[in-house]
Amino acid sequence: MESHKRTDNKTGGNVYKIGVLGGPLSLAHQGQLETAHNFLMSQIYFALGTFPQTGKIVVVGHDCGFYNQLSKRPFSLKEKKADALSATAYLAGTFPSHTVECFFSDRKGAKLEQLA
């Protein structure tokens, strides 16, 4: 798990990154990934409680090998993007006073596509 604070040079605001294996996947598949879901949500609640000025949550999905925890069948990029959007909708419903944005990263992490 990775968590750190950095200054966002574009807006002058702070960015608090929470990185966990599987990323937002556990938010889209809560029933199948309950332990990962609970861990990630505890980190989000902690971050938002510790830094109450945080007004935006950014979800970054990617072509993740963690999908093997769900099934041995391959998942398409379309399905993975839909999961990132599902995670975004879940967070928007859970934290209605926050803006939630969604991006999808290519395998190299060089290109971000905004989904929502």
Q: What are 58-86's pLDDT values in tens digits?
A: 999 888 778 877 887 888 889 999 999 99
What integer pLDDT is reported at residue 7 of this predicted model?
47
Higher local confidence (pLDDT), 10 or 26 = 26
Do residues 28 and 69 lie in contact, with contact meaning Cβ atoms separated by under 8 Å?
no
Residue with tokens 């599987």: 22
What integer pLDDT is reported at residue 103 of this predicted model?
92
> Radius of gyration over alpha carbons of the chain, in Å?
14
What integer pLDDT is reported at residue 66 of this predicted model?
80
Higher local confidence (pLDDT), 106 or 39 = 39
pLDDT(34) > 60: yes
pLDDT(112) > 90: no
CA distance 56 to 35: 25
Higher local confidence (pLDDT), 80 or 16 = 80
pLDDT(100) > 90: yes
